[in-house]
Structure 1
Amino acid sequence: MVQTDRCKRPLDLEKPEGNGSLDVDCRPSILLNFALALQHVLVLSSLCALVVCTLIQEVERDTIVAYVLFHSGISTLLQSWIGSRLPLIQAPSLDFLIPAMALLSDQSGSAVSCRGQCVEPQEPVAPANPIRELRGMVVVAGVVQLAAGSTGLGGFALGRCGPLVLAPLLCILGFSIYKEAALLCSDHWGLAILAVVLLVILSQHLHSFLHLSVLSVCRRLSVLLSVMVTWVVCAALSHWGHVHLNSVTEMISINTNATFNQYQNSPQSIHKLIIHNGSLPWLDFPLPASSLPLLSGRSVAAGLAGGLSASMSSPAVYVLCARLLKAPVPPAHACNRGLCVDGLGSVFAGLMGAPVGLCSSASNACVIGLSQSGSRSTVQLAGVSLLILGLSPQLAQMLCSVPLAIHGAVLSVTYALAVATGITYFQHADVDSGRNIFNIGFTMFMSLALPHWFRLHSGFIQTGVGSVDVFLQSLLTLPVFLVGVLAFLLEHTVSGTLPERGLVRQEGTKKIQSFADQQQGYSHSPDPVYDPPAPVMKVLNLTGFRTVLFCACRTHTVEEVLVTEPEMSSLLPDKDTGACNG
């Protein structure tokens, strides 16, 4: 093995002994670290623009965005410190947007629900307190995530997910947002294409022309530079009157027939709000909401659906991040701690007034693949930056001014990496097996077809109980939940040999591990990247925690088996050095 400094070694060298991560524990230079953190913040703003601006159509939207950024910063810091310890950003996701839409669009008093038995059709009944019901949904979803982590269910399930479960899960995790990304891009396809082309050139093609250290830095900051350049071009075109931009609500009303829009106020452009709303304070500490979350039957049902889906997507993001870092699949204790932090973050956000929950961001995890920099200190600096932005609605308002087309381009490129990472798992199983061909095709097709059908026929589910309707409508339109359940059930019910399923039995033991981990030189044993700080380990090892709550979050000593050098190559095929110093 080449003995080099971990922060200055080439990206395609072997991993140093005792640490499977790419560069998690190293610290980039101050300026580069700040730029990488800002890059993560801009990617998170794309998810905020999609989720928050879709649900909230009020003048207070910028203040709510600030609250979401503040809680994202807190959850991000906790995740990197006592959670999974992976460099992940906590952000809103479709796992909460889809149940929220089902909650807001529940037509319990409509003619459809009457089934022809009503004398006079009633008007759709909008939620009396939509923000409070959304907050109630967030709290319930957080409790579900917390339960999945504290009981060890999340880590238990992840330890039994082989390549044929992880591959479809990661692929659908990436495909699940393609419609929303296309919707944002359709605001101005020219700007979206410009941003995508810049992203591809800066991250993949630049090394073919010149080999300079400054170009290496440009590639690591490919997302940041692409967003900034496109944003400047858009500002210039808007100033000259050549570009007219819309809000998320206007895009939805133009391109879809979403029923929840009838419960919202009249659409207003994000950019109009920036011009006319000058009353936002520069400093506003997020205080607890004056009213408690509303735990109605519908909000509880939507929260259960969102929590179940988030409890599947977050471990998938852990695997995605670990794969891009060339680290082993997270052990059970790291996955459980991560889910606990996700749940605590959602509960805290709902109680404090945020109407959307939080889970690990797949988009930000994929940025690691583009930048080839997964430093934990970068994510922690991003968390601090989110806290600062959350304290200032005026600063948070600036993120709302990023054109939707740029957000769509960022989501399109980053989520594409999730799809590609999932495809890499297929190589570890027998792809010529009839069993695997059916399982893969069936799970992926059904997880995309069923949500689309149920969105088109939203009135199909009519049980007579509004909360049950919301629960079923939410679950059946969540692609990640469907693919996780279908892939896991088929993998463990359809007979197949271990090599056929991409699994192998460790020599001299009865333990079964994924062939993907064995190829990369790891078992399911703990890795230093996942070990919590010493004070946290001491607390978790207390006698009380060994038998009661959070016992599943403790580190267990397991024998480690090293086999071969890493198989996965870098997304940046060059010989430049310095994952941390650019």
Structure 2
Amino acid sequence: MSVAPVTREPLHLRVNEVPSWSEAIMFGFQQAMLCLSGLLVYPFLVSEIVCAGDATVQLRVQLIAATFVSCGIATIIQTTFGLRLCVLHGPAMAFLPPLLAYKALRASECPYTEKDYVDTEIWHERIQEISGSLFIACITFLVIGGTGLAGALARLIGPITIVPLMILLTTSIVPTIEVKLSLHWISLVMLVSVVAMAVYLEEVRIPVIYYSFKKKRTITTRIRLFGQFPYLLSILLVWFVCYLMTITDFEPVGGQARTDKNVTMVVLRESPWFQVPLPGQFGMPKWSMGLCLGYVASCMSSVIENIGAYDLLARVSQQKAPPKNAINRAIMVEGLGSMFASVMGVGTGVTTYAENIALIHVTKVASRTTMQIAGVLLILLGLFTKMAALLASMPDALVGGVLMMGISMIAGVAMSNLKVLLCLGILRESDDK
């Protein structure tokens, strides 16, 4: 049975090609903005889990800054010394189930709201426990990568392995999504906005006018604005709607969609313009046996998920499948990045973002230089504390819509792996006939 050869569109920039500075900054900024919503979810969740009371917003600012810096450093190391492909790292959803279980077990110890004062030692101790447990669990990455087990597993991991794992991961986060969506109806507006831009308006091209210094004249071009920045544009749009609802008093005082909460405004006003997040900023890490074992399971599932992502990234980048030594090296770098994130208090390990792989497929830009630029931009955003404070002021209800769409995309990508099995079944049935 003959199979037609697969034709592939040529890449605009290959893996080791270095673009001009203007192109590198533009493509790097695009990749950084694409993962922005994913980077914001964890600081919001962790700040609630540790029961910080009236210090919740201030803690979010610190966690957002730490998350940006950690993911930026991990991205630069992975693209330079690890897998050496166009990889961007962000917080891994695989580490969320242990955190949710930890929250449920200690729920009775946190009767406070965001308006109540909570002793700093109480929530610092929780962050220390989360950080220490995660740090010890991340040794799993180093063991699996250092012993060569990751490279050996790459031959055994296929759709039947990945799909059930990813489905279980997404369904375990549904209760958290339900809580966020129930805060306010604006979360549904957020969800509809993201779906509309990412699905229905994806191919719509918006005219953009700019001045070219090279040609010394204004130039009009059309770009797929909605298709390239659906998350970012949706967040800005719905956030602006919340602002309009606030200034017109359409949303009552104290409502979940208001943007002028007293604590938020105080934090935004008093946050420094520039601050370096340091390891151990919440104190010496401690550890919990139960939480550590939960994180070990998350590390194992993250390894399987990442091995599948590496193969997909190689195919999108028009490269051969990563060799065993590259996979082992990449898993070890993921472990180091996750360890660094743990001591920064982020509360999660890092992983390869599938959304950024999809953007590579769309833009045909696979140069790892662009991801290194994206890593630098993430670090700068983390150091610019006013920006972190501004992002922390986003209403909680908006996070529900973003998280819902992100989890749906992960589940969709997981289910799409089954089409390979379906095609194989059809081919075998045709051969038998």
Q: How does the TM-score come out when normalised to structure 2?
A: 0.73
Q: Does 1:275 align with 2:265?
A: yes
CA distance in 2 between partners of 1:309 and 1:270 (Å): 40
Residue matched to 2:189: 190
Deviation at 1:67, TM superposition (A): 1.6
Distance of aligned partners of 1:325 and 1:229 in 2 relative to their CA distance in 1, 3 Å threshold: farther
Kindly tell me the number of residue pairs found equivalent between the two proteins. Answer: 387
Corresponding residue to 2:141 among 145, 168, 178:
145
User: Which residue does the alignment assign to 1:215?
Assistant: 223
**Against the structure 1 CA distance between its residues 410 and 375, is the aligned structure 2 distance closer, same or farther, given a 3 Å change threshold?**
farther
Residues 378-429 of structure 1: CA distance to partner in whole angstroms, max 9, x if unpaired?
A: 3222211221122233221122233445444444444444444434433333
Indicate the SS of the match to 1:359: strand
Deviation of the 1:285 alpha carbon:
1.7
* Residue aligning to 1:165: 161
Match of 1:88 in 2: 87
Which runs of no fewer than 5 residues in structure 2 stay unpaired?
1-5, 110-121, 208-219
**Equivalent position of 2:125 in the other structure:** 129
Distance verdict in 2 for CA 1:217–1:356, change over 3 Å = closer
Choose which of 321, 330, 334 in structure 2 pairs with 1:342.
334
Write the letter of the residue equivalent to 1:36: Q
Larger radius of gyration: 1
5 Å-filtered alignment, 1:137-536, equals: 137-169=133-165, 177-181=173-177, 183-186=179-182, 187=184, 188=186, 189-204=188-203, 206=204, 213-216=221-224, 219-243=227-251, 271-277=261-267, 278-289=269-280, 291-322=283-314, 325=317, 329-368=321-360, 374-429=366-421
The secondary structure found in structure 2 opposite 1:226 is helix
Q: Per the alignment, do residues 405 and 386 of structure 1 end up closer, same or farther by CA in structure 2, a change over 3 Å counting?
A: same
Which whole-Å CA distance do the structure 2 matches of 1:196 and 1:244 have between them? 28
The answer on whether the counterparts of 1:283 and 1:393 sit within 8 Å (CA) in structure 2 is yes
The structure with the greater share of residues assigned to helix is 2
Answer whether contact 1:143 1:343 (CA < 8 A) is retained.
Answer: yes
Contact 1:90 1:358 in 2 (8 A): yes
The Cα shift of 1:143 comes to 1.0
Residue of structure 1 in register with 2:27 after alignment: 33
Alignment-mate amino acid for residue 229 of structure 1: L
1:299–1:229 distance in 2 versus 1, CA, 3 Å: closer
Deviation at 1:136, TM superposition (A): 0.7
Q: 1:384 to 1:321 in 2, by over 3 A?
A: same
Cα distance, 1:340–1:144 mapped onto 2, change above 3 Å: same
Deviation of residue 226 (structure 1)? Answer: 3.3
**Using a 3 Å threshold, how does the CA distance of structure 1 residues 94 and 416 change in structure 2: closer, same or farther?**
closer
For 1:365 and 1:243, how far apart are their aligned partners in 2?
39
Change (3 A) 1:297 1:219: closer
1:194–1:421 Cα change, 3 Å: closer
The residue type paired with residue 235 of structure 2 is V
CA 1:56–1:425 in structure 2 vs 1: closer, same or farther (change >3 Å)?
Answer: same
1:1-32 CA-partner distances (Å, limit 9, x unpaired): xxxxxxxxxxx96255xx8x985455472563
Higher RCO (Cα < 8 Å, 6 or more apart): 2
Amino acid at match of 1:70: V
Question: Does residue 55 of the first structure (1) align with residue 76 of the second (2)?
Answer: no
Query: Contact conserved, 1:141 with 1:308, CA < 8 A, in 2?
Result: no
- Equivalent-residue separation in structure 1 for 2:107 and 2:175 (angstroms): 27
Counterpart-to-counterpart distance in 2, 1:107 and 1:195 = 34
Letter in 2 for 1:275: M
2:50 and 2:126 in contact (8 A); partners too: no
Structure 2 letter corresponding to 1:425 = N
Residues in 2 aligned to 1:409 and 1:347: alpha-carbon distance in whole angstroms: 29
CA distance in 2, matches of 1:77, 1:416: 28
- Superposed displacement of residue 50, structure 1: 4.8
* Identity over aligned pairs, percent: 25
TM-score (norm 1): 0.56
Give the Å deviation of 1:307: 2.4
Give the AA of the match of 1:39: M
State the 1:298 CA deviation: 3.5
Q: Specify whether residues 348 and 39 from structure 1 end up closer, same or farther in structure 2 by C-alpha distance, changes over 3 A only.
A: closer
Contact kept? 1:284, 1:391, Cα under 8 Å: yes
- Counterpart-to-counterpart distance in 2, 1:199 and 1:340: 34
Query: In 2 relative to 1, CA 92–218 (structure 1 residues): closer, same or farther, beyond 3 Å?
Result: closer
Cα gap change, 1:426/1:158 in structure 2, threshold over 3 Å: closer, same or farther? same
Q: List gaps (5 residues or longer) in structure 1.
A: 1-11, 111-125, 252-267, 437-497, 501-582
- After TM superposition, give the deviation of residue 134 of structure 1 in Å: 0.6
Amino acid at match of 1:284: Q
C-alpha distance in 1 between matches for 2:40 and 2:221: 29
Q: C-alpha distance in 1, partners of 2:376/2:163?
A: 33
| 1:83-135 alpha-carbon deviations (Å, 9 max, x no partner) | 2234333222332222133335446999xxxxxxxxxxxxxxx9992121111
